[in-house]
Amino acid sequence: MASEEYVERVLALVEQIPPGRVSTYGLIAEALRHSLGSGGPRQVGAVMALHGGGVPWWRVVRADGTLPDSHGPEARQAYLGEGTPLRRSGAVDIEAAVWLPPLDPATVPGT
């Protein structure tokens, strides 16, 4: 179970992702690992599953640009509305859309 601080930091980072851009579970985990020393992509995914409804959850994708199938239709509408670059498959074009969270602990929210 993630600490309250970890949950707050994940959600704060997700809120920073600009419209039309995405980050990955792994990139967010890496940014928090630099400042908190723990966590991984699965922990970020668990935070998003339990607490991510109030943030732009569709902006956090797997490393291959996909989301779980259950999120597809709603996320696709958000991507189209925000102009997020997509591949023909419907997955996000990571190379064109990636947003890198800050790795400097002084710039991560809550530090």
Query: Looking at the DSSP assignment, which residues form a beta bridge with residue 86?
Result: 92
**35, 111 Cβ separation under 8 angstroms:** yes
**Of 16, 100, 6, nearest to 55 (Cα)?**
16
Domain membership of residue 108 (yes or no) is no
Its domain, for residue 57, covers: 4-100
Structure confidence at residue 110 as a pLDDT band (50, 70, 90): low
Can you give the CATH number for the domain in which 43 is found? 1.10.10.10
Nearest-5° Cα angle at 16, 10 to 109: 55
What average pLDDT score do residues 32-49 get? 89
Identify whether 86 is part of a domain. yes
Written as six digits, the tokens of 37 are 């020393």
pLDDT at residue 85, rounded to an integer:
97
Q: In whole numbers, what is the pLDDT of the chain averaged over residues?
A: 89
Residues 85/65, Cβ–Cβ less than 8 Å: no
The total number of structural domains in the chain stands at 1
Separation CA 32–CA 51 (nearest Å): 17
